[in-house]
Chain A
């Protein structure tokens, strides 16, 4: 039960790159993936920026091996999950009990939107193939099938913290000896549903987002997928290369304050961070870098910042929101950020918080503004905060 869980493989696709090395390159060079919407068919093109993956559905189909008629969420999932699987080298070990735990909020909504346009005019209209993979769970299933995984296939949806909970669940399935290896993370495509939903909430930034800036205006949506391949200690020891890091702590808590807004004192994120630290046996000063949830909305950054102030004052770790690169990828965000966190702790690097001009006056910490080498980095904390008060924190530790 107390066995360590290792990150043995990583895979990611986002607005800043189609695989891990492309994303890492963009993070190092400070190149944002946020820009004008060019792939999603929406009236908000040119008005609202977003972090789209820079590939059309046809191009994604080639990369993923799916038909272009399959939704974008599934194709993104396949590309990143396969990268994590291949990267780990677990395929060389026969007889493993391998699972796939994927998270999503939008599921196949990008295709359902097309279906609905015709369906609303006439209930006998709309192509059924556009809704057959509407459910989040069906996307996980078709990707699992393509990856050849059957031992455990499950899907989690807790809004913006979805993939953090998928990673927690995957780690626990290993600790309980139900599985030997798990690909865990999440996927979400940019959809008109999410774009318009967040737009009606008036929390989208019409300019490029500025997380943790005093004058921040809101978030930019993004899309992508990110997965870590988790293994038990026994399996990790059989692999040819060393794992990236271990997952030393995690905690899921609920803010229980409001359906969409976070509490001013950040009770939810505070409890999630505290719980993860307690599990890892680490003290706040042992954390070298926080990958912030940092959406760029007034509410999130206030709440998360308050929780960080409460927990870390006066010894603040380095911190940044990589959503300034990728946009907020919703159900995929904690998966993508888990990959960035695993790389940070393995390589001893810290990412910048782009476009930070005026640090928030309420807090005495200042996020990083440049990419830097940080060889002493031992532990990285990654935060996720979502609708419905769902908050989760993960800790990635150097081996």
Chain B
């Protein structure tokens, strides 16, 4: 079953939000931390409400509301979010408060907003949406699980459209902890040069991307989702290649039918080796782009990738700022997004022109 992407909205470290131009200029970051470019929320959310919201909540709610507006949907049949870390800022505030106050925290606000479902709940509350509401926290495939849930709902009865989003934020604390764990490059690397160096570590990123998905076509659909799958800890590259092949076979296509491959390279040699091997095994000669020089690495970065892939199809163009290899097809009909998060969770999303 085809799933139609009626609208897509992204708040990211690039000028992606409400920008009619599609990735026309690279926003540059000098170090290992890419931060979202935030809009003026006053135009989007009642200031009385946004005042109490943390950054990730504001970014997500703004992205969700804009997505609904573009799709001309006032109240969706379901709201599904995916976030690996959830509301880190509020969790950190409450935790610090609790430790510093020796278990006599002053205010419950941060606790109340620390739960992973806060974003989905806040959107439901703003829209007075009583329908299906779910939140996935599956690490590197949180967004993919949300998408899978959405596609299943659209195949079931009673659901015409689903608002689905993926979001994660960086906080000072999380950046420090993830740096100590060795996730990021030791020396500051500008995002412009992410793919020019052969070294360990990546650069940190964040973002909130929302999509209005429908089971039936409309005149303004951006692109279609043909299929998606996830797999966990493949034994080796042969198993990964098998997963990709059987995924494509189930759609009655093969690697040569892919007009553009979007891969999750993050500049870490250990991480990117898998993409290199897979390209050698399966995708030789297929035009390929990577995207984490734009948004950084984070567990729900495939939300950004889907927004980008859908817009590539919509505009039939590959922005110059992408790390593009190969010769473009005249018409980009099929785009495959392949990402893995630290070689644990892997995902494949196949999208096409409607």
Contact = CB atoms under 8 A, between A and B. Distances in A.
Same complex: yes
Interface stretch (A127-135, A234-242, A350-358, A374-382): A127-135
Interface string A110-138: 00110011011001100010011001111
Nearest to B92: A116
Nearest to B109: A200
Contacts of B118: 259, 388
B334 to A, nearest CB: 22
A156 B132 contact: no
Interface in B142-199: 142, 145, 148-149, 152, 155-156, 173, 176-177, 180-181
B98 interface: yes
B304 interface: no
A120 B101 CA distance: 12
Contacts of A1: 155-156
Chain B facing A: main interface SS: mixed
Contacts of A271: 130
Contact of A200 (B105, B180, B344): B105
Contact of B131 (A120, A169, A253): A253
Interface in A123-169: 123-124, 128, 131-132, 135-138, 140-141, 144-145, 150-159, 165, 169
Interface stretch (B28-36, B40-48, B58-66, B225-233): B225-233
Contacts of A131: 177
A258 B118 CA distance: 11
A149 to B, nearest CB: 8
B133 A137 contact: no
Given A157-B117, A387-B121, A254 B129 contact: yes
Contacts of B344: 141
Interface stretch (A9-17, A72-80, A190-198): A190-198
Contacts of A158: 116-117, 120, 133-135
B124 interface: yes
B130 A387 contact: no
B99 A120 contact: yes
B76 to A, nearest CB: 11
Contacts of A113: 95, 98-99
Contacts of A116: 95-96, 99
A264 B121 CA distance: 18
Interface in A272-305: none
B139 interface: yes
A36 interface: no
Given A117-B99, A157-B137, A390-B121, 15 more contacts: A105-B115, A105-B116, A128-B180, A135-B84, A137-B137, A157-B116, A158-B116, A200-B111, A254-B79, A255-B130, A256-B128, A258-B125, A259-B112, A387-B115, A388-B117
Interface of B: 79, 84-86, 91, 94-96, 98-100, 102-108, 111-118, 120-122, 124-125, 127-142, 145, 148-149, 152, 155-156, 173, 176-177, 180-181, 230-233, 344-345
Interface of A: 1, 42-44, 104-105, 107, 112-113, 116-117, 119-120, 123-124, 128, 131-132, 135-138, 140-141, 144-145, 150-159, 165, 169, 172-173, 176, 178, 192-193, 196-197, 200-201, 252-260, 267-268, 271, 386-390
